[in-house]
Amino acid sequence: MDKKDLTPIIANGEKDKLAKGLSRRSFFMAAGATGVVAATSLGVANEANAQSTDWTQPGNNNHVIKLQGMDKFAEGAVSIDYYGHCALKITSPSGASIMVDPWRDDPSGAWGLWFKQKFAETPVDITMSTHTHFDHDAIDRPVSTMVLDRMVGNFEFADLKITGFADKHACVAPGWYNWTNALKEFGAQACPPNNVGHMDMVVYVIETGGIRTLIWGDNRPDPGPEFWEAIGEIDVLTLPVDGSQHILSYDQGNAIVDKLKPKVVIPTHYLNETTTYTLSTLAPADEWVKSQKSFKMLDKPSLQLNAKEISGMQKEFLYFGHHAQTA
Ligand SMILES: [Fe+2]
Ligand SMILES: [Fe+2]
């Protein structure tokens, strides 16, 4: 959807055509977010137009077929490219690539303009999303052979092993902006066990090149003991902490870091000037990063991590700042 077109969607229960560019899924998400109407009363499934343009995407699955045929995989560094917000591209030593949490603006318009451009149509082997919020779910944007949307369980391919653990979204805003109150105003329950579906979450552990990376997404700060057991030892921890403390507070983020004792911490979900507007209400993560014992302000949106090289690190904060890949 053109981000300049913020005409509200009218959900009146009649068999209206969906707005151009609006999928059944995003329509239901908007309905869920506003609590205006139950999805079952819409009766619009037959008229729904698919938003996905994946069938027109360039390229093909030749790269995946090549990886599929390999029985020996390269050793070496894992590449991490930052695409702003929570979007990270992780590339294995053998070249298998995953894009996590590509973003878009809220198609309902309710949450305003967050992003300065459409998410890059970057070629990757796999696209993954942690949950259905607009700032994590533009799964149609990367040019991707596979889409693992909210995947729970285990997936293995080439030199990648991915574990998805179902949990719940942070449901009490810890910062000045009480965005979780808005859900209450919309008539939606934010907290478990009877939370609306869009407050469900899947946390991923992506294992490749001897490095286990945890994609926290917007998960709650206090999951149960089975969560910690399932995710195990973590080398690289991505955490959504920004200066507005939108998802996690500094204290909550620090407590998770202390519990997991990762070698590397990568802040996400903050205001990156390359991709994100002030209207998002987010702030940079500089203050949190600079309060840490050891940190590095990176000078570009990409990073190479080698298992041996990071083995001696302890809670080393690697911060992408305002750098982000846009293509
Ligand atoms: Fe979210
Ligand atoms: Fe988010």
Q: Minimum-distance ligand to the CA of 281?
A: 2
CB neighbours of residue 245 within 10 Å: 22
Q: How far does the centroid of ligand 1 lie from the alpha carbon of residue 119, in Å?
A: 17
Distance 63 CA to ligand 1 centre (A): 32
Ligand nearest to C-alpha 242 = 2
Cα-to-centroid distance, 268 and ligand 2 (Å): 10
- Compute the distance from residue 156 Cα to the ligand 2 centre, in Å: 26
- Which tokens belong to 19? 């707005």
DSSP secondary structure code for residue 209 in this structure = T
Please state the pTM of the whole predicted model. 0.85
Task: Tell me how long the chain is.
Answer: 327
Distance (Å) from CA 218 to ligand 2 centroid? 6
Q: pLDDT-derived band of residue 3, with 50, 70 and 90 as boundaries?
A: very low
pLDDT score for 50: 56
Task: Give mean pLDDT, residues 67-91.
Answer: 96
List the structure tokens of 238.
């991505």
Amino acid making up residue 110: A
Residues 6+ apart with CB under 8 A from 46: none
Mean pLDDT of 111-137: 97
What's the 131 CA to ligand 1 centre distance in angstroms? Answer: 7
CA 123 to ligand 2 center in whole angstroms: 23
Alpha carbon of 255 to ligand 2 centroid (Å): 20
**Would the pLDDT of 197 be above 80?**
yes
User: Does residue 22 carry a pLDDT above 50?
Assistant: no
Q: Note the ligand closest to the C-alpha atom of 135.
A: 2
Q: In 3D, which of 136, 108, 139 has the Cα closest to residue 36?
A: 108
Mean residue pLDDT of the chain comes to 88
Ligand 1 center–CA 93 separation, angstroms: 30
Dist. CA 240–CA 247, nearest whole Å? 6
Supply the pLDDT for residue 55.
Answer: 85
Domains delineated in the chain: 1-51 (no CATH), 68-319 (3.60.15.10)
> How many Å lie between the centroid of ligand 1 and the Cα of residue 283?
16
Ligand 1 geometric centre to CA of 226 (Å): 22
Residue 301 scores a pLDDT above 70 = yes
φ/ψ of residue 114, rounded to 5? -105, -35
Determine how many CB atoms are found less than 10 A away from the CB of residue 12. Answer: 10
Q: Which ligand is nearest to the CA of 132?
A: 1
Ligand with smallest separation from the Cα of 183: 1
User: What is the whole-number distance in angstroms between the Cα of residue 307 and the centre of ligand 1?
Assistant: 30
* Ligand 2 centroid to residue 217 C-alpha, Å: 7
Q: What percent of the chain has pLDDT over 90?
A: 81
Per-residue pLDDT reduced to its tens digit, 217-242: 999 999 999 999 999 999 999 999 99
